[in-house]
Structures are given as structure tokens and as C-alpha cells.
Amino acid sequence: EDKVVQSPLSLVVHEGDTVTLNCSYEVTNFRSLLWYKQEKKAPTFLFMLTSSGIEKKSGRLSSILDKKELFSILNITATQTGDSAVYLCAVGRTSRQLTFGSGTQLTVLP
């Protein structure tokens, strides 16, 4: 059965800290791995990763995929209170169905 596991489930840090969120997967017909940020309702797109070892960066956020070991990490440097959210990892299959992990709840304290 396909599964996507995220860790930690929750994380509390202070502004300025660096955090690393983990995502491991076992999914058939893998096509891509995606990261989303969910603050209230709509998950908002962060990254799509399809190739191993190529880091994607957007401001203070970065992500990388390891297709051999079947995991991805999302790094956030110099965290801000606005980074507080649930971060979702999802694997896209060739059928275009997304399989999500249960998310990591990040809380950034001032």
C-alpha cells in the first residue's frame, strides 16, 4: 500500500531558528514529490521535485529529493512567525493522484 510519512508531526521553534522537515515515501508509479504550505484552508504550492540531488530554492526555503533512499527534506532558514503552518508532503503518481503525508505542524514563536 502506498504511504507517505512525515516527521516530526509537530515542531516548535523560535524566530531565527533553522528547521528541517522530513518526508519518506513508498509509492508505486512515482512521478514527482511536492511540498505544500497550509495555513488555514487551501494548500499553497512550494516545490515540485522530480530529480534526485537537485536542490530547489525559494527565498529562505529549500528542498531536495533522494529517489534512491525515497525521501525528501524541506529546509527553512531564519524562520519567521509567518512560517507557522502545516507543511504537507505529497507524492504525485503517473495517474496524477496525489498521496499526502499527515503533515508537520510548525509553530514559530517570536
Partner 1 sequence: ETGVTQSPTHLIKTRGQQVTLRCSSQSGHNTVSWYQQALGQGPQFIFQYYREEENGRGNFPPRFSGLQFPNYSSELNVNALELDDSALYLCASSWLGTEGYGYTFGSGTRLTVV
Q: Which residues bind partner 1 (CB under 8 A)?
A: 4, 6, 31-32, 34, 36, 41-45, 48, 50, 88, 90, 92, 95-103
Residue 48: CB minimum distance to partner 1, A: 6
**CA dihedral sign of residues 109, 22, 32, 42:** negative
**41 vs 110, beta carbon nearer partner 1:** 41
Burial class of residue 34 in the structure, from the number of CB atoms within 10 Å of its CB (0-12 exposed, 13-18 middle, 19+ buried): buried
**Rounded least distance, CB 104 to partner 1, Å:** 10
